[in-house]
Amino acid sequence: MLTTEVYFLFLLITQGSSQDYRSIRLKIEINTKYECNHLSCASSMIILTSTLRQCQISCLTYSHCTVVTFNSLNNQCELFPKNSLEDGNYTVQINTITMISMDNLQESTLTTESFTTSTTTVTTTQMNPCELGNLRWNTTGITIFSLSPSLIASGVFVDLNGAVYFADEGIDSVVWKLDKNSTNATVVAGTLGSRGTNSSQLNFPNDVYVDRLGNIYVSDCANYRIQKFSNKSNIGVTIAGISELNGSELNRLNCPRYLTFDATETYMFIADDAQHRIMRYLTNATTGDNGVLVAGGNGVANQNTSLNIPWGIHYMPSVSNDLFITNYGGHSVMRWTPGASSGIFVAGVPGVSGSNSTLLNNPMGIKFDAYLNLYVVDNYNHRVQMFCANNRVGITIAGNGTMGDTSIQLNDPRGIAFDSNMNMYIGDYGNHRVQKFMKL
């Protein structure tokens, strides 16, 4: 017969931050699993938390949480919403801890003597604002620049002075710069209206990055190269790939999409769309032939060893050693340590497209913040999804899900960037405009 020791104790978690102060009392049952298989049960939310404490805090910050279980073997934290309690049941399961919010228990339950009590107070100063529900943007966008029908804005970038740059894949075939507070953009790379392959032309420019010295890097997708424009020159130098030659060789690219740089701007990482791989190049390169494969490159598949039309990419080594990559073709987001043979899926369901909160449909641009909250442009759903760190449930922060040109809508959104105040900029491709969403 299976025997188990069941301990009960009370835990009081108090969460403090300048704006928020909440607390919850949890009754803790060790080696107990709570399950709710009944049809009447509301669906639970499963997140991964590295510690029991994080799991408890998640219950605190998930306003409807009444019961939470933590499995210390796989770090799975399952949050059950309101009204779950009376429908579920408890079973013995080693390594699982069930915690019940005292606020949902009857007074009589509180006074039974079957458990001992103790109280713990936890104060965490660095609380993820996403989990507190404090990370919001005004969903009414502001058009900071539009040019119809020629502007087809894809990748966007904001420099340290707040100037916004955007790659224009349309007949303009250039990169634009819009100074802070300005309404008039100027061309900073390419020749307006002249699509082509020479050093002053671009061919479906997809993304732009500007380094601290003011050098402009452009992913020149249909020329299979990355062009670097220095010293305000309109003559670009190919520093990755070979102009007009695509292929799987390490010195070639096959439609480079979005770019990301490390903090020292020593390396750039390129989403090499049609080769299903991420390539790394030195930013001081003067030829296109010193590429290093750092992720994927194993053909196309929805498995953790492959990428599936990688499009968006972000890297911030001060926060994580991993690249975060959108699989446009695979409807998923992966994190991948450069050079590793496989990555981990962190958002979306590999190979499954859809429009509910756990699914994506052709994700493109991606960014993450210091808490590892993810921001993903969900292109075919015409929305921007935010995933709080380690959470697979997305929250829509821009676009209402229906393609359109009103201020609350997007049409074929692609690139994403944030300024130093976390205002968000979106390349609203199909609407021939760049939208700004103010941080609230």
- Chain residues that interact with ligand NAG, rule: CB under 6 A: 35-38, 87-89, 138, 140, 180-181, 184, 186, 194, 196, 198-201, 230-231, 235, 246-247, 254, 266, 282, 284, 303-304, 342, 344, 354, 356-359, 400-402, 404, 406, 408-409, 440
The residue to which tokens 């450069």 are assigned: 338
Of the pair 1, 39, the CB lying nearest ligand NAG is at 39
C-beta of 199: minimal distance to ligand NAG in Å?
5
C-beta of 14: minimal distance to ligand NAG in Å?
29
Of the pair 123, 186, the CB lying nearest ligand NAG is at 186
> d(Cα 45, Cα 255) in Å, to the nearest integer?
38
Closest CA relative to residue 154, chosen from 423, 421, 413:
413
Of the pair 359, 389, the CB lying nearest ligand NAG is at 359
C-beta of 303: minimal distance to ligand NAG in Å?
6
Three-state SS for 431?
A: helix
CA distances from 243 to 193, 246, 291 (A): 20, 8, 14
Q: How would you class 249 by CB atoms within 10 Å of its CB: exposed for 0-12, middle for 13-18, buried for 19 or more? A: middle
What single-letter DSSP state applies at residue 52? H
Q: Tell me the residue type at 333.
A: V
C-beta of 154: minimal distance to ligand NAG in Å?
17
Of the pair 81, 247, the CB lying nearest ligand NAG is at 247
**Neighbouring-strand partners of residue 164:** 158, 178
C-beta of 339: minimal distance to ligand NAG in Å?
13
Of the pair 9, 438, the CB lying nearest ligand NAG is at 438
Of the pair 30, 265, the CB lying nearest ligand NAG is at 265
* Neighbouring residues of 230: CB distance < 8 A, sequence distance ≥ 6: 213, 214, 215, 216, 237
Of the pair 6, 12, the CB lying nearest ligand NAG is at 6
C-beta of 245: minimal distance to ligand NAG in Å?
8
C-beta of 263: minimal distance to ligand NAG in Å?
13
Structure tokens at 256: 């480079």
Three-state SS for 429?
A: helix
Closest CA relative to residue 351, chosen from 399, 293, 415, 304:
304
Q: What is the dihedral of CA 33, 34, 39, 40, to 10 degrees?
A: 180
C-beta of 126: minimal distance to ligand NAG in Å?
26
How far is C-alpha 420 from the geometric centre of its chain's CA atoms?
17
> d(Cα 62, Cα 66) in Å, to the nearest integer?
9
Of the pair 247, 430, the CB lying nearest ligand NAG is at 247
> d(Cα 425, Cα 159) in Å, to the nearest integer?
12
